[in-house]
Chains A and B, each alone.
Chain A
Amino acid sequence: MAKILVVEDDPNQRLLYEEELKNDGYEVVTARDGREALEMVDKARPDLVVMDISMPGMDGIESMSRMLSQDHKLPIILNTAYATYKESFRAWSADAYVVKSSDLTELKSTIKRVLGAR
């Protein structure tokens, strides 16, 4: 099963994503901010990244740009509470953009679609 890196600063949300995705059979690794995510990509070699944008320290867009400069094919889903980032040109580098919700149906189907497209 695919390995997913969840990047999320809020501990409760991080736990929620981790549990839900594990239940669906994915292997899950986590990071608390953009910089930790870069280290985790090197260490854990995930197949897909679910990336929060607004985080203390390095934000998700910067972290995504750096990941893509290392591996331009790494699938990345931006997962944020704010729809406003969708208009940011740099956010367009993501494979998908999901607005956060307590219902993870959309995120899960997006993960499936993005992994399926590879």
Chain B
Amino acid sequence: MRDQHLTKDALAIILGGGQGERLYPLTRDRAKPAVPFGGTYRIIDFTLSNCINSGIRRVYVLTQYKSISLDRHLRLAWDRFNEEVGEFVVPIPPQQRIGERWYLGTADAIYQNIYTLEQERPKYVVILAGDHLYKMNYLEMLQFHVAKGAEITVACVEVPLADGNRFGVLSADDNLRIRGFDEKPANPKPMPGHSDLCLASMGIYIFETRTLVRLVTEDAKRDSAHDFGKSILPSVMNERPVFAYPFKDENRKAMKYWRDIGTLDAYYQANMDLISVDPEFNLYDQGWPIRTYQRQSPPAKFVFDERGGRIGIATNSIVSNGCIVAGGHVSRSVLSPGVQVEGYSEVEDSIIMDNVHISHDCRIRRAIVDKEVIIPPHSRVGYDLESDRKKFTVTESGIVVIPKGVPPSEEFWHS
């Protein structure tokens, strides 16, 4: 690989500490980066795979809230590297070296881990979010950073102007030097020549390490939101060379694919992006493999083929190992490992997580069912949202979310 020294000189820090309130109840018992995705993955696997596929072998994941399941996943899936040769993927829980408190913002998270940077002394720090879905080669971004003589490089992507108020919106000159930065502006500035698009920060940064330390240290002494987008970038872009790196998508589709899994509806839609014949987000590209942990389990099985009766079948779906579709019909859905669907049941447009048991004669549509839920016979989900709303979270677009631990009794489900 060209410029291998660049990735050797780089350390990635993945911010994995967000509470993920808007993904509740999926984040009731786990940090957002640990939310299961696409059958066998966790959301953080995509960013970690990008690191490895880019040649970055030093990765810290800053954890915080509800980190047990994230820690376990990192141990099982990503503890593959050898610290002896300077390669690692390691979670860092808050050390409280500097303050006896949670991280106040993204910049404070780095400030509180300065000791770690001092130990590793990388030349570049790549700061990444643990809850984004995309394929990106960070080596190319490092090459851009060096070629531009940047102290800070911000990855950016075009988004519809109407969505600009959810992002940090940039403006850059012809040389891609950033000249304007507005965090979540009410009236985002359109891109030159594209009145319907604006340039959004992806929350992905490369810093010269010394610049990073200097800036977060100064920021810690100010009353601010202690956040890169809100507090630091707007104030430094005139004093230091800060450049915008246009996202180059390794997904290789007509439309660039980058999703911030911010809401339950966004989470649902991103899962659905995996299942079509020509999926918007491709998990099957051997050129950009996505790694995860998969426990040993038998292959998926489809049984019963009674013409005019029970037929076990799945179409336009992802079905993971250990699933048994026993006379049920699954369509346009994502099934995690160990799911069982019994006779005469129908599952449509749904995300079903590990070891969920769907008994006979159920109708489930437009639902997200969290791990281990047992759904008793004759249950209906997604057909009467008023009734569903009494028991479950129902999203704006009408997706019913069934959390872990709901009772398996018919009284509960049929009330």
Contact A73-B214, Cβ < 8 Å, known A88-B118, A89-B117: no
Are the C-beta atoms of A72 and B221 separated by less than 8 Å?
yes
* Binary interface encoding of chain A residues 67-91 relative to chain B, with 1 for a CB under 8 A from any of its CBs, else 0: 0110011000000000000001110
- A72 to B226, alpha carbons, bound, how many Å? 12
Contact A93-B118, Cβ < 8 Å, known A65-B97, A68-B98, A69-B100: no
Task: Tell me how far the C-beta of A55 lies from the nearest C-beta in chain B, rounded to whole angstroms.
Answer: 18
B100 CB contacts on chain A under 8 angstroms: 69
Task: Tell me how far the C-beta of A103 lies from the nearest C-beta in chain B, rounded to whole angstroms.
Answer: 29
Task: Tell me how far the C-beta of A94 lies from the nearest C-beta in chain B, rounded to whole angstroms.
Answer: 9
Chain A residue at minimum C-beta to C-beta distance from B118 = A89
A interface, size bucket: 10 to 19
- A19 to B99, alpha carbons, bound, how many Å? 34
Query: Which positions 35-70 of chain A face chain B at CB distance < 8 Å?
Result: 65-66, 68-69
- A90 to B117, alpha carbons, bound, how many Å? 10
- A73 to B219, alpha carbons, bound, how many Å? 11
* Binary interface encoding of chain B residues 190-231 relative to chain A, with 1 for a CB under 8 A from any of its CBs, else 0: 000000000000000000000001100100111000000000
A26 within 8 A of partner (CB): no
- A68 to B221, alpha carbons, bound, how many Å? 8
Contact A92-B220, Cβ < 8 Å, known A68-B98, A69-B98, A69-B99: no
A72 CB contacts on chain B under 8 angstroms: 220-222
Are the C-beta atoms of A92 and B214 separated by less than 8 Å?
yes
Chain A residue at minimum C-beta to C-beta distance from B226 = A72
Are the C-beta atoms of B117 and A65 separated by less than 8 Å?
no
B115 within 8 A of partner (CB): yes
Task: Tell me how far the C-beta of A62 lies from the nearest C-beta in chain B, rounded to whole angstroms.
Answer: 8
Task: Tell me how far the C-beta of B147 lies from the nearest C-beta in chain A, rounded to whole angstroms.
Answer: 27
Are the C-beta atoms of B220 and A93 separated by less than 8 Å?
yes
Q: List 28 A-B contacts (CB under 8 A).
A: A65-B97, A65-B98, A68-B98, A68-B220, A68-B221, A69-B98, A69-B99, A69-B100, A69-B101, A72-B220, A72-B221, A72-B222, A73-B221, A88-B118, A89-B114, A89-B115, A89-B117, A89-B118, A89-B213, A89-B217, A90-B114, A90-B115, A90-B118, A92-B213, A92-B214, A92-B217, A93-B217, A93-B221
Please list the residues of chain A having a beta carbon within 8 angstroms of any beta carbon in chain B: 65-66, 68-69, 72-73, 88-90, 92-93
Please list the residues of chain B having a beta carbon within 8 angstroms of any beta carbon in chain A: 97-101, 114-115, 117-118, 213-214, 217, 220-222
